[in-house]
Amino acid sequence: MVNTLRDMMHELVIFSGSAHRPLAQAICDNLGVALAPVELTRFSNDCLQAQLQANCRQRDVYIIQPLVPPTQEHLMELLLMIDAARGASASKVTAVIPHYAYARSDKKDASRISIGGRLVADMLATAGVDRVITMTLHAPQVHGFFSVPVDQLTALGILAEHYLGRDLTNCVVVSPDLGNAKTATQFSRLLGLPVAAGSKQRLADDRVVIDAIVGDVAGKRAIVLDDEIATGGSIVELLDRLADAGCTSASVACTHGLFAGKAVERLRHHPMITEVVTTDTVPAPADWPELEVRSVAALFAEAVARIHAGESVSSLFDGVDPSLGPPQPKLFE
């Protein structure tokens, strides 16, 4: 019978693909366990192969791999590692996917279009995963695509810590779109601030139009909150509308800072932006040293420890849950 934390951690083994090993190592450091080695090789026909180089038999296996570019390569690595763990008689296999990129493919919004979020969820289950741990899915319905338990963590508390203790006089939390307004309201409650939102229409993956700002931002400093920043197009469009509405400056915060394409160029020296804050769910761009990066490693480590011990994960977010605490500020007041 397992009686000590050390004995329990001995039953746990953690592997990482090549997507974000520094985050995996930080999670292991917080847990006090070694990151187990993996050998990823490529055959002459370009096929990948994964070999887990630690004993998995009857052990609780966690595989850490955010789906970041090259996304398809990292997805295939993850599937192969899950298959290898299952074939090595692991007791349980949990995929830790800090950034689930296919969450953006969540609905049939055009004729004959694929729904990648559901397909990838099915692929993970077919490969043999027993559970998924992720963070801030782009759309809440993606949670329902999985046939295995999913623990969705949130970085709102970690991002809020960046602002708490600062002078937030005359600040307002701003959501880039109405779909994210509920999360922005949650965030504004943590900071004790009012909230506003943009009315956004997406024309293409990297083209959006924001035709109005709903809420009072005149003469105020904005804290823009988004779940993910890819090319930065939505943020730049929002900043233009905020400036038109009399907003004086903006701090930009997001959970998943992908900063693909021209994002760094667009945001790094934008005249409205005072800072950009993100987390390390994905690797930070090397050419942006002043980017503020908050680590989620301790949060993922705590979630892994609780799942391994059969304890509640949702209680990690008692102070962030919108159903708890004082009444939330109302949007559009």
Q: Which of 27-36, 158-167, 322-331 comes out lowest in average pLDDT?
A: 322-331
| Domains of the chain, each with CATH number or no CATH | 5-153 (3.40.50.2020), 156-294 (3.40.50.2020)
Has residue 200 got a pLDDT over 90? no
Q: Work out the pLDDT band at 319, boundaries 50, 70, 90.
A: low
Catalytic status, residue 200: yes
Selecting among 200, 220, 262, 330, the annotated active-site residue is: 200
Q: What was the pLDDT predicted at 209?
A: 72
Nearest to 230 by CA among 184, 261, 266: 261
> For 60-84, what is the mean pLDDT?
98
Has residue 246 got a pLDDT over 60? yes
> For 135-144, what is the mean pLDDT?
88
Rounded to 5°, the CA angle 261-265-266 comes to: 90
Q: Work out the pLDDT band at 328, boundaries 50, 70, 90.
A: very low
Has residue 330 got a pLDDT over 80? no
